[in-house]
Amino acid sequence: MQGNLLDLIRGYSMPYVKRLTGSPSDAREYAALVDFQIKVALTLLAAYSGRTAAPIKLGDTPGVGQMLSGIKLAKKWTASLDPVIVGWREFAERLLNEFSRNIHDGKGFKAIRDELSHGTPIPVEDASAAAICTALREFSEIVGQHIETQVSKFCYAATPTSIRLSCGADNQEVAPLWDFNAAQGVIGIYSTFDTDGVYYLCPSIGAYRNQRPENTAAFRTTFLSKDPTEKHFGQFVFEITRDIAGFCEDHSPPPYDFGEGEHAGVIFVTWTQASSQGNTHRTDMFRRGQDNRYEWFDVSANTWIGFSSFLRKIANWTLLARRVRIELDEQERRKQVAEMGTSQPTGGMKITAVLVEEAETPDDSSPVQVTPINLQARADNSCQPSKNFTTVYFVVGDAGMGKTDYLLTLARARAHAVETNPTVESPLYLFVSSTGRALSNLDDAINTSLSITHILNNHSAKVLCRNGLLVLIVDGFDELLGSSGYDNPLGSLEGWFKDLRGRGVMIASARSSYYMTRYRRSLSETTDLNVEHTVADIQPWTPEDTTAFLHSYGVPATALTDLSARDWRLLTIPFFAKAFATWSTTSRSNGEEPTGVFQIVVEQYLSRESTKIADQNNAPILSKLELQTLFSEFAEMMHIEGKRELEQSDLELCASAALGFNDIDKERPGLRRRLTSLCGLSVGEMVAGDSKFGFSHEVIFDCFLSLSLQRRCAAGVEMTYVNNVFSKAAINTAVIEWFVAANVNVAQSVLDILRPAGGTSSIWKKNVGALWTALLNHSGGMPPTLAASELEFQTVELSMGRGKQLTMRGAKIDQLKISRDAPIIDIKETSIKYLTVDEASTLSLLRGVAPEMIQKMQAPGSYCDTTASVRTVLEEAGVIAKQASAATLEWLDTANYFIESLVSRPDAPIVVMHDNLEPDSERLGWATRLGLAKWTQFLNRLTQCKLASWEPLVAKKQPKKRLVFHVSPAEISRRNSSIPGIADFWNS
């Protein structure tokens, strides 16, 4: 980066100019501009002072008085005959002359600036206010002119480690007083020195930190007057100004200055608060109190209070809670209308949702009783400001499990509690629904949800979230970006993580375990996300709960006697139970007999929607079969095109294709007009109320997508069609299971056509793997084909096929269960997260197995969760040959265990004690499975090979540090030798 120095300084004055409003409040902005001009002058003089016998030293948090004192030191350069130094000394004298004179009402600049910073109000009289503002404007112009005259002929050239100024023979290095931030493309001026780095101010982006040790050491040695008495003050300034920026009119970091004398340790922030009633210009004081608590001076109460109280005040906390509650009530009403066809509350008992934290070992036979978790209590507790990482809770469950009901109830209850009792210090829960609609990014979804409040926006919401006052709930996160979300599961969430800077709490729901697998894989490809994840599975109802619920709706016991085992499994899913209960109390009275729970859901939906497709005589324009075909076509288009909603033109196109109409108006009069009646009742309307069609629930979409597959394949399986459906987007497992149950022979034909095609995308592999698994389960454990290579599976249970050989090379399997009567299985280059066998001898069925490809393995009497222990069991079973070079293998097994653990468990940041590298969190229990010595060896090898480095953390007790990867764990796992350091890491 290089250019004219005068242009650079003028450019950095523009953010102050842009904030001018033409009102008396501009006085504070002009004062802030002069503060910045003083920083520029002082740092330039300090850089040149190295050529003199009177070097200028700077304080760790220099205020205006201290900076002017630094400039006064340049007056001592009278002994120097160097014309360059003479010129800079004369420049300093001219500046000091300006600061020594009175500029308004017998007061100099510093006196006026201190009064404004310390809360002295600007006079209410227009003339007096204008006079102060004019005086400060003219003074800033004079100071600016002195600086411009001095640097007008200078050029600069900046690199990440050097900034050189040049003017003819005059050539001066100004780093580390100035800093080039290559990532942002800006130059910063020294602001604060701290033990964790040097903080610089760039008016266009605010304060930032250069934490390179060599930069910190150079500044301390050459320019620092004395080490700071308080640690992490620079971080305090950075965080306060960035948080206030979220509520500023232009969302840019506001100017600030440091207090002196009795106000030492205080920062004064001048900013403009935006609100629906207009802008408020203010100056606020902040400091760090006991135990590093951030505090704000409440002038009205004349006392220091917590920073969170300041944020509640500027967010109009009680009014915010009320507006959030009103919007959530309305969302609940719209959801009720969309799903049940009425806004009236339905009867029946309410079954409380049960959430269980994801088990590290998915062993269904484990006798250990799993304890449900209280998500609200966990989330509230995670909002503590002392944390060093962002916490994310994923609520995972199949379609219809009640995730939306649970999270919406959580948010409504909290908003009501805060509204009725403003002293409640618990966080608000912001509910953002993306279910049923694809938005371009998370910020769009949040801004849409916040628009009703007229108080918050995306920027201020992040501030409240970062400070533990707001918990963001994203319902249907896996649907937020449509089908593209599966290719990039982190999506715009990664931007939120970075903006939260290791703070805050988020809750997201996702219906697909496949999505979580992809999400974790995406996490393992990143290098510096300071996030802890917890996955909570929402549990199906117990048979007792289901029976009690149905009886509470008035469903007689006789109605349950003829239900199949498959129907009973569906009834443990709340959505199906509610649908069955409604059908039993309405349609059953008309003499209709059940045709299975799946078909009941479809019939209910068709009956409700058919009333919208009627002519002027209220006669149906489409038969029930035609309407079912039409909705199947809708679902197919949504799936193939990655949409969550359809426009009117899409509906007309589907109607023509599905029903074989060449002219809709001629062949079915009134249908085109009636199609618009289907729009505006999607779940998407919960957010925006727009006129698009969307299914009222994700289960309904799944039902019709499955019906579409059944209809299109009934007369024959067409290769292009099925390959397109299985390639475009992830298909929910239930869709495929219903498809297999409807016609297993057709489903087998689809698999026989798809499998040889050998799709390359992860989505194709997952979908075809799900079809293979559904057919496997339908047959009771007999493989539907003996070739299943390169596919992705969740749970595979092989119990039939003795004497045959199944090839599953290059596959990915979450859980593989093998029984003694299973076929021989070739799993060469197949990664398996969890392998279980019914007896040790069953391991002999494995071929091509590699210990490093199996993360965990369980057999009767043994449990292995390290590469070395897996290797030992496989060697003893005779599945693999014993290795002679045990010493060589020891490091490889050690490294492989830790790296694969990081790839499969990227759910918690690696935070350790500074002295002995012992893990700080129970979530890292796997880290010491091989002993602290091997864990230490592994960490040291990572840092020695420059694949990672340490970041010190602020901690009350023992010092801690966090491991920051420069190369992602996934890349290290692939042993990509083209990346520097990876080959050295793996070599023993």
- Please determine, for residue 487, whether its predicted confidence score (pLDDT) is greater than 60: no
Token pair recorded at residue 399: 């379609």
Helix (H) or strand (E) run with residue 11 in it: helix 5-18
Residue type, 826: D
Measured CA distances, 716 to 186, 375, 529, 711, 749 (Å): 63, 48, 49, 10, 9
340 Rama sector, left if φ>0, alpha if ψ -120 to 50, beta otherwise? alpha
- Please determine, for residue 591, whether its predicted confidence score (pLDDT) is greater than 70: no
Least confident of 155-164, 467-476, 827-836, 919-928: 919-928
pLDDT at residue number 261: 84
Distance (Å, whole) CA 478 – CA 515 = 7
What mean pLDDT do residues 446-468 have?
Answer: 87
Q: Where are the beta strands (DSSP E) in 130-223?
A: 155-159, 162-167, 170-173, 178-181, 186-194, 197-202, 206-210
More confident residue, 528 or 785: 785
H and E: helices and strands count for the chain = 35, 30
pLDDT at residue number 834: 94
Distance (Å, whole) CA 677 – CA 673 = 8
Token pair recorded at residue 329: 């009530």
- Please determine, for residue 122, whether its predicted confidence score (pLDDT) is greater than 90: no
pLDDT at residue number 680: 47
Helix (H) or strand (E) run with residue 282 in it: strand 280-288
pLDDT interval class at 360 (50, 70, 90): low
Share of the chain above pLDDT 90, in %: 50
- Please determine, for residue 832, whether its predicted confidence score (pLDDT) is greater than 80: yes
Per-residue DSSP letters for 688-720?
Answer: S--S-B--SSHHHHHHHHHHHHHHHHHT---HH
Question: With 0-12 CB in 10 A as exposed, 13-18 as middle and 19+ as buried, what is 827?
Answer: buried
Distance (Å, whole) CA 16 – CA 36 = 10
What mean pLDDT do residues 172-190 have?
Answer: 95
Distance (Å, whole) CA 242 – CA 32 = 17
What mean pLDDT do residues 309-326 have?
Answer: 93
pLDDT digits (tens, 9 = 90+) for 89-99: 999 999 999 99
Query: Side by side, which strands form the sheet with 854-859?
Result: 792-798, 812-818, 831-837, 854-859, 862-864
Q: What is the CA radius of gyration of the chain?
A: 34
pLDDT interval class at 670 (50, 70, 90): confident
pLDDT at residue number 505: 94
Distance (Å, whole) CA 454 – CA 254 = 22
Distance from the first to the final alpha carbon of the chain: 43
What mean pLDDT do residues 557-577 have?
Answer: 86
Distance (Å, whole) CA 432 – CA 421 = 24
pLDDT interval class at 682 (50, 70, 90): very low
- Please determine, for residue 587, whether its predicted confidence score (pLDDT) is greater than 70: no
pLDDT interval class at 158 (50, 70, 90): very high
- Please determine, for residue 684, whether its predicted confidence score (pLDDT) is greater than 50: no
Per-residue DSSP letters for 744-779?
Answer: HHHHHHHHHHHGGG---SHHHHHHHHHHHHHHHHHT
What mean pLDDT do residues 718-728 have?
Answer: 93
What mean pLDDT do residues 438-456 have?
Answer: 75
pLDDT at residue number 765: 94
Which of 289-293, 458-462, 789-793 holds the top average pLDDT? 789-793
What mean pLDDT do residues 109-131 have?
Answer: 80
pLDDT interval class at 358 (50, 70, 90): confident
Helix (H) or strand (E) run with residue 508 in it: strand 505-510
Q: What are phi and psi of 569, to 5 degrees?
A: -65, -40
Least confident of 18-32, 607-621, 668-682: 668-682
What mean pLDDT do residues 675-696 have?
Answer: 58
pLDDT interval class at 688 (50, 70, 90): very low
pLDDT at residue number 936: 94
pLDDT at residue number 677: 73
Share of the chain above pLDDT 70, in %: 91
More confident residue, 372 or 359: 372
This prediction has a pTM of 0.81
- Please determine, for residue 592, whether its predicted confidence score (pLDDT) is greater than 70: no
